[in-house]
Amino acid sequence: MAFELPALPFAADALAPHISAETLGFHHGKHHNTYVTNLNNLTKDSPLAEASLEDVIRQSAGDAAKAGLFNNAAQVWNHTFYWNSMKPGGGGSPSGAVASAIDAAFGSYNKFAEEIAAAAATQFGSGWAWLVSEGGALKLTKTANAETPIINGQTPLITIDVWEHAYYLDFQNRRPDYVKAFLDHLVNWDFAAENLANA
């Protein structure tokens, strides 16, 4: 059973003007698809070809001999999670259990937004900023390259991709503007709520 590129959960132009169809065409259609292709080539004719994506990630994490396998598997997972972290007409502050958990962990939504924006802006080079649940509480973490919180026993709620290909066509080098657009207009709090309920 080959790994497949999941469809975007929205139309390619649905996040415009914040993220353009051109960016999604390259990011999903080229970058994400390349990780899927590489993963299939790396697992072909091996027991991992039948494993779940999460199992491939966990079995290859921390093994230098399997770095290529981990990087491609984790990037397939991270990108799929990122697409679901956004929705047309999203953004702004959450409600319900997510809002309560954010208030408990950060004091207020505004403080959370300030801290995740800082985490995303200060991730050196390529990587990700995450809101995760760990031990019953929310916290922020950032990871470099393909690293993912699921190997650390954390449950991701949302992520912001800060690899340059996520935003460069639309924002050039203005990563903070991209992060602000994500928080103000795109973040999918319904997805976060589902993840928190399953944490």
pLDDT per position as a tens digit, 157-185:
999 999 999 999 999 999 999 999 999 99
Same domain assignment for residues 191 and 100: yes
Backbone phi, psi, residue 91, to 5°: 90, 175
Same domain assignment for residues 108 and 65: no
Q: Is the pTM of this model over 0.85?
A: yes
* Among candidate residues 33, 60, 84, the one where a domain is terminated: 84
In a domain, 9, yes or no: no
CA dihedral 160, 141, 70, 176 (to 10 degrees): 30
Question: How many C-beta atoms surround the C-beta of residue 92 within 10 A?
Answer: 13
Same domain assignment for residues 52 and 77: yes
Predicted confidence (pLDDT) per residue in 80-94, tens digit: 999 999 999 999 999
Same domain assignment for residues 78 and 32: yes
Number of domains present in the structure of the chain: 2
Phi/psi-derived region of residue 156, left when phi > 0, alpha when psi is between -120 and 50, beta in every other case: beta
Q: Which domain holds residue 76?
A: 21-84
Q: What is the residue type of 51?
A: A
Shortest CA distance to 127 belongs to which of 139, 148, 143, 103? 143
* Among candidate residues 63, 84, 105, the one where a domain is terminated: 84
